[in-house]
Amino acid sequence: MTKVHSVILKIDNITKLHGQFKALNTISLEINRGEIFGLLGPNGAGKSTLLSILAGASKPSSGFTWLDGMEIQPNNLKLRARIGLVPQDFAFYEDLTAKENLVFFGQLFGMQGQLLTSKVNEILQIIGLDDEKAHQYSKYFSGGMKRRLNLGIALVHSPDILMLDEPTVGVDPQSRNRIFEAIKTINAMGTTVIYTTHYMEEAEALCDRIAILNHGEIIACNTLQNLLSLTQTTINFSIHENDMAKSRILKQKLPELKSDPLQGSYSLTSHKNSTPDIINLLVNEKIQIINLHLDSPNLEKVFLSLTGRHLRD
Amino acid sequence: MQSFIIAKKELTLLIRDKLTATVLFVLPFAMILILGLLLGEGFGQKTDDLMRISVLNLDKGFGLNNKPWAQLAIEDMVSTPNIKVEIIQNKELAEELVKTGKRAAVIIFNPDFSDRVNECSFLSTGVNPFHRDGIYLEKLQVSIVTAIIESVCQIALLRIVMPWMIGKAFEKLGDPEFIELLGKEVSLPVPPSLRLLIPKDKIPLGELLQLASGKDAVLAKNYREKVGAGIQTALTGQFKNYNLTGKSWASLTRSVNNAETVNTLTTFKNEDGTGILKRGAIRYQILVPSFTVMFAFSLILISGWIFVAEKRQGTFNRLLSTPVSTPSILLGKFLPTIIISLFQIFFLLGLGKVLLGLKIGLPSWTFSDWMIALIVLPLATSFCVASFSLLIGLLSKNETQLALFSSVPVCLFALIGGCIFPWEMMPDNAKTLAFLTPQGWALDAFREIMPSSFDTTTDFQLIWKSTLVLTAMGFILISITWITLGRIRFGNS
């Protein structure tokens, strides 16, 4: 499906103060219609605060947010019907069944009758709770099922934009995959998704574009490819430690090569697209490689290179 | 519409929480029942309620103005300040009441009482009921016991018997027999000028009258009557403050009836209830309204708890993130509390009526009176409860805060408001303090619709006043809640 790159959500110089503490500092972003946009950052970076403002649940100290040209403000109740928010914590009634929860929230968004019934059934199917589990009290659900129900409630009113605040915290891989599948399905149906996480793998797996948030500031925002290009691939290989001649050749051909001749191990940081050239060089020079390991760039490295600290610190 | 959806969800959750639902309805009734069975008959009654003289009137005779003397004695007691006179219907009941300790004593006016009083006289031929300390009750065919009640009875009988005997004695002053006696006893000196006619130093009054009448018997009788009337007139003139012929205390003392005297005459009613549940016991008239009001306001804790739990679970924020307006959310939270509160009130009143014989209303009530008592008042109370619940729930950030905040309206206000200790058991100014609390207003009105055995009228003005105060309190509280919720939802949070 071809994605139309029109801006659905515009964030203009948002700052949020909690007393003296600056939770968000002059954030500006544009999110395109139909994309899955990732907000990646460590805990406390300001992801949830930003999401809360975008969902209209709280007010920025300064700056503006616009949804399709309409300013998002807490008292603009009409806009809320276009937004689906999946909070980080489970936010549903444990003494209601999955279906009852969906019906309840659907009704609050003004849905009723056949439309509501079919939508609820559709969502139950998407989140994988369409069998007898739909009629079980949600307090008896596993963590993963609860996460899926949490997601489903935000989808029941068919929002234009879905905002997920770390929706996979504490879930098993199987449930995580189901959540990913659900998000991809919803996105494929045209819903724009804003996905906050501190798991780089999730952002890499899901997001078209990613903004990296640190200490309330956007430190990078781009497509995954472009972000990864901010760092380089490291090639690590080993040769026989007594092959001094080959070692000299390598030093001549690759002056940036870092080596430990006594151990016979070498490492070289390069752009990913130059890796084949290096491999060819080793083959042509008939250097016998004992082992070879490519350390590809990832968002963790990007974050490390941008902030000097690890994402999960 | 969305309010009803929220309300329906709240009620569904409550119904599914069977333990809480059970506690909400069963606990108050269990407390009423336990206290009702444990507490004595006098629980919550005013001291003057207990200053009660129980009387059994078996008198079959007639006294003054053709009224039985026992009736006059009872009327005299009724007019005694701070005494309530209770009529016991029969001797078996009187004996049972004394035997079971429900009454310290019963004054019994036996069938011959009027006859015996009629016989009382200062004359030697009459019954002399007096002794050094008062009146011989047994001579008057009166049976009783215990010091306080005997004193009351003695005074009442003195006020009955004394004027009667004085009146009769005064009448005797004009009686020819008395003049005959007086004529023999009183001798007058004969002046020297009359010594020729009456050759004596002294002459008895009777002989003098005989002399004056010229031995005419009719004329002599006439003179004697004149002497009697003269003595009566002279004594009446001498003791102007008293009507010596009055024969009743009021007439004798020329006293004027005290306009403020209230009717304190009642007929005995079994106030300790019957059967295992003590059905109909008077204390239920205090316990049921007290606990109905107390547990209605206890909903503040339960509703507040649900509210806080919802905030902690994040569902409240999710609710706020929907397009539902703030008033609709408030109404959705508000309605279930009102419904539960009303249901709880009706449940307690209904069970009280059916199982405990609770007396609600008076036979004289009209349809609109019943509507005020059973619809308007419970609605106003529930409105105040729901408003209070929402405010406390909204202001409490966690369960600890809720427990602290709600302890004031649930426990302290219940204590001050008279729900735990009846006002009658508290200092005189306690009721003034009670009106600082919604419980005080609610309880005052609920007790008015559940009258005690002494109440014969209902003060609907009081019920209206309480209803208006509770509604006003509710409006103030819900307004604060609305503003607070608006600030939370749309403010700079």
User: What is the DSSP secondary-structure string of B294-335?
Assistant: HHHHHHHHHHHHHHHHHHHHTHHHHHHTSS--HHHHHHHHHH
**A157, A55: one domain:** yes
Taking contacts as CB-CB distances below 8 angstroms, the residues of chain B near A85 are 318, 321
The lowest-confidence range among A77-86, A142-151, A240-249 is A240-249
Taking CB atoms and an 8 Å cut-off, how many pairs form between chains A and B?
Answer: 73
- Structural domain contains residue A301: no
- Structural domain contains residue A305: no
**B124, B198: one domain:** no
Taking contacts as CB-CB distances below 8 angstroms, the residues of chain B near A153 are 318
Partners of B187 in the beta sheet? B204
The lowest-confidence range among A121-125, A176-180, B130-134 is B130-134
Is A46 in contact with A23 (CB distance < 8 Å)? Answer: yes
Hey, how many other C-beta atoms are within 10 angstroms of the C-beta on B147? 9
- In the prediction, which pLDDT does A1 show? 46
Q: Which residue of A has its CA nearest to B316?
A: A91
CB contact under 8 A, A57 and B322: no
Calculate ∠ Cα A286-A287-A289, nearest 5°: 130
Host domain of residue B194: 176-237
Q: Which residues contact A17 (CB under 8 A, 6 or more apart)?
A: A23, A61
User: Looking at the 3D structure of chain B, how many domains does it have?
Assistant: 3
Q: Is the pLDDT of residue A110 over 50?
A: yes
CATH number for the domain spanning A141: value is 3.40.50.300
CATH number for the domain spanning B252: value is 3.40.190
Domain boundary among A228, A245, A276: A228
- In the prediction, which pLDDT does A270 show? 67
A19 interfaces chain B, CB cutoff of 8 Å:
no
**A206, A246: one domain:** no
Query: Per-residue pLDDT tens for A188-244?
Result: 999 999 999 888 888 888 888 999 888 888 888 888 888 887 777 777 777 766 667
> Would you mind telling me the total number of residues written for chain A in this entry?
313
User: Looking at the 3D structure of chain A, how many domains does it have?
Assistant: 2
**A64, A153: one domain:** yes
Average pLDDT on A86-104 reads: 92
Taking contacts as CB-CB distances below 8 angstroms, the residues of chain A near B491 are 59, 74
- In the prediction, which pLDDT does B354 show? 86
- In the prediction, which pLDDT does B372 show? 92
- In the prediction, which pLDDT does B493 show? 46
Q: Which residue of A has its CA nearest to B314?
A: A91
Q: Mind listing the pLDDT tens digit of every residue in chain B (493 residues)? A: 889 999 999 889 888 888 888 888 888 888 887 877 777 666 666 555 546 788 889 998 888 878 888 888 888 878 777 677 888 888 888 888 877 777 777 888 889 888 888 888 777 777 777 777 777 777 777 776 555 567 777 777 887 888 888 888 888 787 777 888 888 888 888 888 877 777 888 888 888 878 788 778 788 888 888 888 888 888 888 888 788 887 777 777 776 655 455 566 677 666 666 666 666 667 788 888 888 999 899 888 888 888 888 888 888 888 888 888 888 888 998 899 999 999 999 998 898 888 878 888 888 889 999 999 899 999 999 999 999 999 999 898 888 888 888 888 888 888 888 888 877 777 777 778 888 899 999 998 998 888 876 666 888 899 999 999 999 999 999 999 999 888 887 764 4
**B461, B372: one domain:** yes
**B159, B188: one domain:** no
Mean pLDDT of chain A: 84
Query: How far, in Å, CA of A79 to CA of B493, rounded?
Result: 19
Percent of chain A with pLDDT over 70: 93
**B424, B335: one domain:** yes
A78 interfaces chain B, CB cutoff of 8 Å:
yes
Query: How far, in Å, CA of A220 to CA of A305, rounded?
Result: 11
**B145, B192: one domain:** no
**B252, B286: one domain:** no
A262 interfaces chain B, CB cutoff of 8 Å:
no
**A176, A247: one domain:** no
Domain boundary among B218, B237, B256: B237
Exposure string over A83-114, b if 16+ CB within 10 A, otherwise e: bbbbbbebbbbebbbbbbbbbbbbbbbebeee
Return the structure tokens found at A281: 């060089």
- Structural domain contains residue B243: no
**B326, B257: one domain:** no
Identity of the residue in B16, B317, B324 whose CB atom sits nearest the CB atom of A108: B324
Q: Which residues contact B196 (CB under 8 A, 6 or more apart)?
A: none
Identity of the residue in B13, B17, B318 whose CB atom sits nearest the CB atom of A91: B318
Half-sphere exposure of A8 (CA within 13 A, CB side): 24
Taking contacts as CB-CB distances below 8 angstroms, the residues of chain A near B319 are 108
Query: Per-residue pLDDT tens for B183-238?
Result: 888 888 888 887 777 788 888 888 887 878 877 878 888 888 888 888 888 888 88
Q: Which residue of A has its CA nearest to B332?
A: A108
Q: Which of A77, A86, A136, A155 to mutate to test the interface with B (most CBs of B within 10 A)?
A: A77
CB contact under 8 A, A95 and B16: yes
**A106, A68: one domain:** yes
- In the prediction, which pLDDT does B459 show? 87
**A162, A183: one domain:** yes
Average pLDDT on A80-88 reads: 89
- Structural domain contains residue B170: no
Domain boundary among A205, A228, A251: A228
**B263, B116: one domain:** yes
Residue with tokens 């994309």: A35
Alpha-carbon distance B341 to nearest alpha carbon in chain A (angstroms): 22
CB contact under 8 A, A59 and B491: yes
**B372, B393: one domain:** yes
Q: Is the pLDDT of residue A95 over 80?
A: yes
Partners of A15 in the beta sheet? A62
- Structural domain contains residue A2: no
- In the prediction, which pLDDT does B342 show? 93
Q: Which residue of A has its CA nearest to B17?
A: A95
Parallel, antiparallel or unpaired: strands A161-165 and A83-86: parallel
Identity of the residue in A73, A89, A96 whose CB atom sits nearest the CB atom of B314: A89
- Structural domain contains residue A311: no
Q: Which of A83, A93, A102, A156 to mutate to test the interface with B (most CBs of B within 10 A)?
A: A93
A109 interfaces chain B, CB cutoff of 8 Å:
yes
- Structural domain contains residue B427: yes
**B309, B206: one domain:** no
- Structural domain contains residue B169: no
- Structural domain contains residue A26: yes
- Structural domain contains residue B331: yes
**A238, A142: one domain:** no
- In the prediction, which pLDDT does B156 show? 77
Taking contacts as CB-CB distances below 8 angstroms, the residues of chain B near A107 are 2, 5
Taking contacts as CB-CB distances below 8 angstroms, the residues of chain B near A80 are 321-323
**A135, A254: one domain:** no
- Structural domain contains residue B168: no
Q: Which residues contact A107 (CB under 8 A, 6 or more apart)?
A: A116, B2, B5
Residue A6 buriedness (CB in 10 A; 0-12 / 13-18 / 19+): exposed
CB contact under 8 A, B313 and A90: yes
The lowest-confidence range among A173-177, A266-270, A299-303 is A266-270
Taking contacts as CB-CB distances below 8 angstroms, the residues of chain B near A81 are 323
CB contact under 8 A, B323 and A57: no
Q: Which residue of B has its CA nearest to A92?
A: B315
Host domain of residue A220: 7-228
**A20, A161: one domain:** yes
Interface residues on B facing A, Cβ-Cβ cutoff 8 A: 2, 5-6, 9, 12-13, 16-17, 313-315, 317-325, 489-493
A80 interfaces chain B, CB cutoff of 8 Å:
yes
- Structural domain contains residue A304: no
Taking contacts as CB-CB distances below 8 angstroms, the residues of chain B near A16 are none
CB contact under 8 A, B323 and A96: no
Local confidence band at A15 (pLDDT 50, 70, 90 cut-offs): very high
CATH number for the domain spanning A252: value is 3.30.70
**B394, B365: one domain:** yes
- Structural domain contains residue A20: yes
Taking contacts as CB-CB distances below 8 angstroms, the residues of chain A near B318 are 85, 87, 91-92, 105, 153
**A95, A161: one domain:** yes
- Structural domain contains residue B366: yes
Q: Which residue of A has its CA nearest to B8?
A: A104
**A103, A239: one domain:** no
User: In whole angstroms, how far apart are CA A82 and each of A78, A179, A187, A192?
Assistant: 8, 21, 15, 11
**B258, B290: one domain:** no
ipTM of the complex: 0.79
Taking contacts as CB-CB distances below 8 angstroms, the residues of chain A near B314 are 87, 89-91
- Structural domain contains residue B15: yes
**A106, A167: one domain:** yes
Q: Which residue of B has its CA nearest to A18?
A: B493
Partners of A292 in the beta sheet? A237
